[in-house]
Amino acid sequence: MGFVPWHRSVEYRRRFALVMGQKNQLWWDLPAQESFRLHQQIYNIEDSSFRKTLDELTSLLDVASLLGRPVRELSLGERMKMELIAALLHGPEVLFLDEPTIGLDVIAQHKIQQFLKYYQEERRITVLLTSHYMKDVAALCKRVVVIAQGTVKYDGSLAGIVEDFSNNKIITLELADGTSPDGLERFGTIEKIVMPKVSLRCNRSDVSQALSGILNNYKIDDMAVEDPPLEEVIAKLFAQVSEPNARQRGDSNEAAS
């Protein structure tokens, strides 16, 4: 936005917001609506704009009935919704999120993910998410940047990172009643057998041939072909990054000795 971030100018700070999953910005013993009024004064938001934005956000997140309750009485998911409202009241152009769904149950995670996707598409703001929780990344991010050893190792699409760092596919089969899984290992590496379901891994280039062979030799009620879990792909990427560094350190130690 044309600013030097570490100068921390007031004009710059008015144009972004930060939400951290492990740190509160709301007053613990006061109702969230009191913290919102404080934010209104800090950011000098006009009353009409403040009320309109607050009504919109509380409606989208379904928390209007909770505004008068002390923050300490809210559930973790409800508190995180209030944190998002506080961050968005002044209409930031950039929203920084740090582990925004950490500790939340599956339903709360899904609701916050859906809200963030909707809000970003409607307002066209930039959202930067830092997270080790790959489900947030998969649900929210179109562009992914992976940083390791202080260096950008990947910058591209979410689909591209799977294609670049994994040459496998996972085939999940649901066998028909009475069908034995014996011999499936010739089509790939067996990952798991919990009858009637069997999961096996094979190279991307071999998927078509494997499926053809399976359908010709086994009775199948259902099947799915998926990429490996994103967590696995990221772990493999970091392993590839750290291995050359480990070898380099070993060579340096040998040279020193």
- Contact by Cβ (8 Å): 192, 206: no
Confidence (pLDDT) at 164: 81
Give 195-222 pLDDT, tens digit per residue.
Answer: 999 999 999 999 999 999 999 999 999 9
Give 49-99 pLDDT, tens digit per residue.
Answer: 999 999 999 999 999 999 999 999 999 999 999 999 999 999 999 999 999
- The residue whose two tokens read 């392993």 is 239
Mean residue pLDDT of the chain comes to 89
Give 27-46 pLDDT, tens digit per residue.
Answer: 999 999 999 999 999 999 99
Q: Which domains does the chain have, with CATH numbers?
A: 5-153 (3.40.50.300), 166-229 (3.30.70.980)
